[in-house]
Amino acid sequence: MIDDTLSKGASKQKYQKAGSFMSDDFLLQSEAARQLYHDYAKELPIIDYHCHLSPEAIAKNENYANMSSIWLAGDHYKWRAQRTLGIEEKYITGDATDEQKFLKWAEAVPYTLRNPLYHWTHMELKNPFGVTELLSGENAQEVYQHCNSLLQTPEFTPRGLLNHFGVEMVGTTDDPTDDLRYHQQIAASGFKVKILPSFRPDKALGLAGGSVYRNYLQKLSEVSGVTITNIDTLLEALQNRVDYFHENGCRLSDHGLSYLPFVQKSSGKLSEAFAAVLAGDDQEAAQYEQEFSALVLTELCKMYHQKGWVQQFHLGALRNNNARMLQTNGPDTGYDSIGDFSQAANMSAFFNNLEKENSLAKTVIYNLNPADNAAFATMIGNFQSSGTKGKMQFGSAWWFLDQLEGMKDQMDTLSSMGLISCFIGMLTDSRSFLSYSRHEYFRRLLCNMFGDDIERGLLPADIRWIGKIVQDICYYNAKNYFTF
C-alpha cells in the first residue's frame, strides 16, 4: 500500500518500512521456529475466550468513523505511554479532535521502543491495513487518511474484522444485570462467529460499596425478579441470572480480584452486616467484606460447577492508585498497576473448600505479579482431576505481562512445573477489534521458544510432533476445553 516516498512537505529522508524488521519471519529466529509457525500455527482459527469487546458494536456492525475511534479510544496502554511522554491529557482522553489525538499518538510511537506497544502498533497497522511504514509524526497524516478510507468498507466493520482474523469464538465480559439483548441479536442474525457472554459478578461482592452497592442490588433485584432482603435472596437472584446467562450461551464466568477471598471461621454476623448495609448503615461493612465475598463467591462457584462452566480468576491488580485522576477520568483509564498481594494460601484454601464438596469447576487462574508465577503454576497441580485434561489452568500472561518477556516467563514456568502441552493458550483481553495481532504475537513467540529448544538440542527435531503440540496450545486445547 503506502510506499516509502514522503508526503508533501515532509523530510527528504525516506521512512524505514516496518517490514524491514517485522518481516514474515518476525520473532522466528531459527529454521525450526519458522517451520513451526508457517506450517502449523499461522493459519489456525482463533478462540478468544476472554475479551472486553462490545457486543453492541458487533450487533450493530457499523463502520468506525476513524482510526482514533477504533484504535485509541479506551486503550489505557497507549494512554499511559503518552502521559509518560508528557503529552497533554486533552490529546489522550480530553476534548481534542480525533485527528489531533491520532497525530499525537503517532508522534509518541518512535519513543515506545522496547515497549510492546511498538510491536503491537506496527503489527496492527500492517494487518489489516497494509501499512508497512514505521509510524511517526512525519507520516501520520498519510497513514490516518489511508486507514480511515479502509474503515469505511464492509471488510472493516466489527464483523468484517473478526472474519478477517479467523476468529471462531469471542467471549465478552458481561455483568449479571445485562439483558444480553445484543448477544441475542447477533445469534439471530446468523453471524458465523460465536459471540458468547461471560458472567462477571464482581459488583455483587462489594459489600463496602455504600450507596453504589445498594443501587446495584436494586438493579439486580429488578432484572432477576427477586426482592433482595437478605443473603439467601441475593444468592437466589444470582442463581436466576446464572440460569439466564446459561440459556443465552454463557459457559464461562470471570472475576477480577486482588486475591481470592477466604476466611477460616465464620463470624456468625454476616446476616446482620448485610441487613445493616441494606438499611443504609455502612459502618461495619468493610470489616465483613472479605468474609461476605468469600461466602458469595463460593456459592457462585458451586453454581458454575453445576452448570459445567469454566471459571476464571484474574488476580493481582492494584487498581485506582491515583485518586485525583480517578475523580477526573473514572476507573479503567490507566491508573492501575501490579499489586504485591499474598496469593497462595487463600487460593489453596478457596479451591480446597470447593474440592471437598466435589464442586470445583474447570478453573483458569491468571497472575499479574511475575513474582507469583511459580506459586500459580504449582497450585494448579494440586487440583487436577482424573478424566479431565488440564482441568486447572495457569492462564496466559495478562495485562502488564502480555509482552514477550512476560509471556515467555509464564510459559517457561508452566513448562517447568506443569505441562505446557495442556495449556489453552492466548486471549486478547482487549476492547479493540484490532488486537487480534496479539494472537499472532503469542504464536510467533511460542514457535520461537520450541524452535530454540530444538536448535540447542533440548528437544528432538521432530517437527511433526512438536507442530502438533504447538497447534494444541494455539487452538485445539481451548476448543476441547470449553463446551460452546
- Give the span between the Cα atoms of 434 and 160, in whole angstroms: 11
DSSP annotation of 136 reads -
68 — alpha (psi -120 to 50), left (phi > 0) or beta? Answer: alpha
* Most distant CA atoms of the chain, gap in Å: 76
* 234-278 residue pLDDT tens: 999 999 999 999 999 999 999 999 999 999 889 999 999 999 999
Interval 162-186 mean pLDDT: 98
Residue-level pLDDT at 20: 73
Residue-level pLDDT at 19: 62
Residue ranges of domains in the chain: 63-156, 165-481
* Length of the chain counted residue by residue: 484
Which three-class secondary structure state does DSSP give residue 174? strand
Residue type, 264: Q
367 membership: H or E segment, kind and range: strand 362-367
Joined grid coordinates for residue 334:
490507566
Query: Is the torsion defined by CA of 462, 46, 438, 326 positive or negative?
Result: negative
CA distances from 344 to 262, 315, 316, 330, 399 (A): 11, 11, 12, 31, 20
Asked if residues 223 and 177 have their Cβ atoms less than 8 Å apart, the reply is: yes
Strand 317-318 to strand 392-394: parallel, antiparallel, or no bridges (unpaired)? Answer: unpaired
**Res. 39 pLDDT band, cuts 50 70 90:** very high
Per 3-state DSSP, the chain is made up of helix, strand and coil in percentages (nearest 5) of: 55, 10, 40
Top CATH class, 63-156:
mainly alpha
* 194-219 residue pLDDT tens: 999 999 999 999 999 999 999 999 99
DSSP annotation of 427 reads -
Residue 1 has pLDDT above 70, yes or no: no
Residue type, 135: L
CA distances from 11 to 5, 105, 131, 138, 462 (A): 10, 19, 19, 8, 50
Interval 294-315 mean pLDDT: 98
Interval 298-306 mean pLDDT: 98
Pick from 375, 316, 318: nearest CA to 348: 375
Joined grid coordinates for residue 342:
499474598
478 membership: H or E segment, kind and range: helix 477-481
* 391-427 residue pLDDT tens: 999 999 999 999 999 999 999 999 999 999 999 999 9
* 471-482 residue pLDDT tens: 999 999 999 999
Other beta carbons within 10 Å of 97: 11
% of residues, the chain, pLDDT over 70: 96
In 153-300, beta strands by DSSP E = 167-171, 194-196, 198-199, 252-257
> How many helices and strands (H and E) does the chain possess?
20, 10
Strand 310-315 to strand 362-367: parallel, antiparallel, or no bridges (unpaired)? Answer: parallel
Cell 425478579 belongs to residue: 225
The mean pLDDT value of the chain amounts to 95
Interval 73-86 mean pLDDT: 95
CA 278 to chain centre: 33
- Give the span between the Cα atoms of 316 and 15, in whole angstroms: 41
Residue-level pLDDT at 21: 81
Pick from 156, 132, 67, 131: nearest CA to 105: 67
CA 438 to chain centre: 11
Interval 24-37 mean pLDDT: 97
- Helices within 85-228 (DSSP H only): 98-108, 116-126, 140-151, 158-164, 181-189, 211-224
- Give the span between the Cα atoms of 299 and 284, in whole angstroms: 23
* 103-149 residue pLDDT tens: 999 999 999 999 999 999 999 999 999 999 999 999 999 999 999 99
Count CA within 13 A, CB hemisphere, residue 249: 21
Residue-level pLDDT at 414: 98
Whether domain 165-481 has CATH 3.20.20.140: the reply is yes
Strand 46-48 to strand 362-367: parallel, antiparallel, or no bridges (unpaired)? Answer: unpaired
Residue-level pLDDT at 383: 98
What order of strands is seen across the sheet that includes strand 167-171? 46-48, 167-171, 194-196
**Res. 13 pLDDT band, cuts 50 70 90:** very low
- Give the span between the Cα atoms of 392 and 424, in whole angstroms: 10
- Give the span between the Cα atoms of 172 and 190, in whole angstroms: 18
- Give the span between the Cα atoms of 153 and 131, in whole angstroms: 17
In 290-442, beta strands by DSSP E = 310-315, 317-318, 337-338, 362-367, 392-394
